[in-house]
Amino acid sequence: MSAGDPSVRKGPEPVTVRAALLSAVTIFGLAAAIHIVRYVLLLINRTSLLSPLVAGAALWLGVLASLAAIVAVVLTAVVTTSWLIARRAAVYHHLGQQDPRPTWALWAGCLVPLVNLVWAPVYLIELAHAEQSQARLRGPITAWWVAWVVSTGVSIFGIATSFTTLPQGIADNTVTVIIAYLLGVAVLVLLWQVFDGFVRKPVERPLHRWVVVGQDRPSTPESPPAVESDPQEPAA
């Protein structure tokens, strides 16, 4: 059985997953840059009044960047989840089994906010165990998991403090949002590394390299018998 069997669900190609991750990284980086400019304008506004046009542009660019980041997160989550489901199906099919997790549970565990903080990494760890690559991928998965939890916590704090109307509160919230976007970039890059760690090894190829340990060395050929016999005294 192979991953190319038509009965196995085919997910997005690796180039599609990488394109989604790259787009999200780019959008998050631009959003962080826009909010950095916005923070600088807030500092300038303390000593001199900004033009309404500049202030309005900074405000709406920040809103558009936030909306674009939300769309990028949703699309990336859908693409990567679709790949994960297809990869798990191919691996378990290659092992002659069915995925122990139903498809709906995989979708819900990866897409429902906060719930996915627990279940999405668990699904990846299960996949790594099924592929016998847990030793190689344990570090990247753990790093991505920790960064994702921290990033989510900072994002929740940024949302909770975004309703303030005080100038200092707005500035502090802008700094929090900048940190959240930069952490989001880190999470996406770490997820990219985890993804590459999986796709680097095809489903059909075993991970272990077999080495012959007890191979006998070829025995040394025995010396050929002497052509002439020992000299003997002539008969008298």
**pLDDT single digits (tens) 24-79:** 999 999 999 999 999 999 888 888 877 888 888 988 999 999 999 999 999 999 99
- Give the mean pLDDT of the chain: 86
CA distances from 50 to 156, 164, 174 (A): 30, 20, 17
Assign 11 a pLDDT band (cuts: 50, 70, 90).
confident
Instruction: Report the distance separating Cα 82 and Cα 75, nearest Å.
Output: 11
Instruction: Report the distance separating Cα 42 and Cα 54, nearest Å.
Output: 11
Please say if the pLDDT value at position 85 is more than 90: yes
Structure tokens at 67: 């909306």
- pLDDT mean over 95-101: 94
CA distances from 136 to 117, 126, 141, 222, 233 (A): 22, 13, 10, 49, 78
Please say if the pLDDT value at position 216 is more than 50: no
How high is the pLDDT of residue 204?
Answer: 61
Instruction: Report the distance separating Cα 215 and Cα 70, nearest Å.
Output: 59
CB 110 within 8 A of CB 116: yes
How high is the pLDDT of residue 230?
Answer: 45
- pLDDT mean over 88-96: 94
Instruction: Report the distance separating Cα 88 and Cα 127, nearest Å.
Output: 6
Tens-digit pLDDT profile for residues 109-165: 999 999 999 999 999 999 999 999 999 999 999 999 999 999 999 999 999 999 988
CA distances from 106 to 118, 146, 178 (A): 12, 20, 31
Least confident of 40-54, 60-74, 166-180, 204-218: 204-218
Least confident of 12-16, 32-36, 46-50, 201-205: 201-205
Assign 205 a pLDDT band (cuts: 50, 70, 90).
low
Assign 6 a pLDDT band (cuts: 50, 70, 90).
low
How high is the pLDDT of residue 208?
Answer: 43
Assign 98 a pLDDT band (cuts: 50, 70, 90).
very high
